[in-house]
Homo-oligomer: A and B are copies of this chain.
Amino acid sequence: MMPTRPAPTLSDVAKRSGFSTATVSRCLNFPDQVSDKTRMTVMAAIADLGYSPNFGARAMAAQRTNTIGAIIPTMENAIFARGIQAFQEELNDHGYNLMVASSSYRMDLEESQIRSLVARGADALLLVGYQRDPAIYQFLEAQNVPALVTWAYAANGPRPSVGFDNRRSMEKMAKEVLRLGHRRLAVITAETASNDRAAARLQGIRDAMGAAGLADDDLRVIETPYGIDTGGAAFASLMQESQPPTAVLCGNDVLAVGALGRARDLGVDVPGDVSIVGFDDIELAQVAYPKLTTVHVPHREMGRKAARALIGFLQGGTPIEAEELKAEVYRRESLGPAPR
């Protein structure tokens, strides 16, 4: 069980920030009516104190709202769709509602959505990955709102996770690619600085290459936002290099199907000329042609187990235990031996 402390008030925030309560209130309700500097100072005070804008309302409402919040990086491309749908179905079966927010992969937006969901009375939160300001974990603790991390697994993270090891899973894929004789590898990945899952997958590829005696410099890396078009553009630029790769490892399936489509347009044979692999095994991977070799994430299992862990805690106080799920390479048509 988490410790509880007296809830900080609006006037605590005013004192700490040096502004009036009216200004603090305006920051929260009409952020575009205050200067950036004022807002930053007030937000820092809020973060320091772990203040929740609507704590009063939250406390006054029923202790439990039977509503659980989830914040996912995006609703596009169905990357998180199946896992969240399974999460919701399990919640509904136990009388809970789900409210979802999407952060557009922006940490500042995620933080404001966490605060908003807590203010709106969320009993618990599902979060994706570990990378966020540690103050957010303190805030959730102060608010007594349990949070579970998914789409990642760390035995000793700041919150328990029900997820998979992005680094080890992508390492398995890279080993399979290397086993087939590929030596000129390229990666198309999301920006790794703000996405710990993407960074871990890239590291997994480097791990496999290191074990095979290859240097970091042997890996061509392109960072680009997740998208079908961006994946296609990155693939096209790789094909224009003097020594194009024989295998392109994509950070997710969306990038990979973009690369597959562009290969078809360019007349590049997959996997005869180039192998292309993805990560996630979402619907796109299954309808792509040729069928995509990818890392299969057990989305539905993850969603259901995450829901059960939170429900067990909320209903019976069962501590949330971390659980590592397996994410395995699903070999399909888009991966073949390196061309001679």
Q: Check if A65 is an interface residue, CB within 8 A of chain B.
A: yes
Mask, A83-126, CB within 8 Å of B = 1, is 01100110010110111111010000100110011011100000
B100 and A88 contact, CB distance less than 8 A: no
Q: Check if A48 is an interface residue, CB within 8 A of chain B.
A: no
Q: Check if A224 is an interface residue, CB within 8 A of chain B.
A: no
Q: Check if A138 is an interface residue, CB within 8 A of chain B.
A: no
Contacts of A92 in B (CB 8 A): 104, 109
Q: Check if A297 is an interface residue, CB within 8 A of chain B.
A: no
Q: Check if A210 is an interface residue, CB within 8 A of chain B.
A: no
Closest Cβ–Cβ distance, residue A99 to chain B (whole Å): 4
A95 and B32 contact, CB distance less than 8 A: yes
A77, B29: Cα distance in complex, Å: 35
Among A181-189, A197-205, A280-288, which stretch is in contact with chain B?
A: A280-288
Closest Cβ–Cβ distance, residue A81 to chain B (whole Å): 5
A119, B99: Cα distance in complex, Å: 12
Q: Check if A289 is an interface residue, CB within 8 A of chain B.
A: yes
Q: Check if A144 is an interface residue, CB within 8 A of chain B.
A: no
Q: Which of B57, B62, B287 contacts A228 (CB 8 A)?
A: B287
B104 and A120 contact, CB distance less than 8 A: no
Closest Cβ–Cβ distance, residue A73 to chain B (whole Å): 11
Give the interface residue-count category, chain A: 35 or more
Q: Which of B81, B112, B283 contacts A75 (CB 8 A)?
A: B81
Q: Which of A243-281 contact B (CB under 8 A)?
A: 254, 257-258, 260-261, 264
Apart from the given pairs A97-B113, A254-B283, A287-B288, 19 other A-B contacts in the complex at a CB distance below 8 Å: A30-B95, A31-B95, A32-B95, A54-B65, A56-B61, A67-B120, A75-B81, A76-B81, A78-B81, A81-B81, A88-B104, A97-B112, A98-B101, A99-B99, A99-B100, A99-B101, A99-B117, A99-B120, A228-B283
A→B interface (CB under 8 Å)? 29-32, 54, 56-58, 60-62, 64-67, 69, 74-78, 80-82, 84-85, 88-89, 92, 94-95, 97-102, 104, 109, 112-113, 116-117, 119-121, 228, 254, 257-258, 260-261, 264, 283-284, 286-289
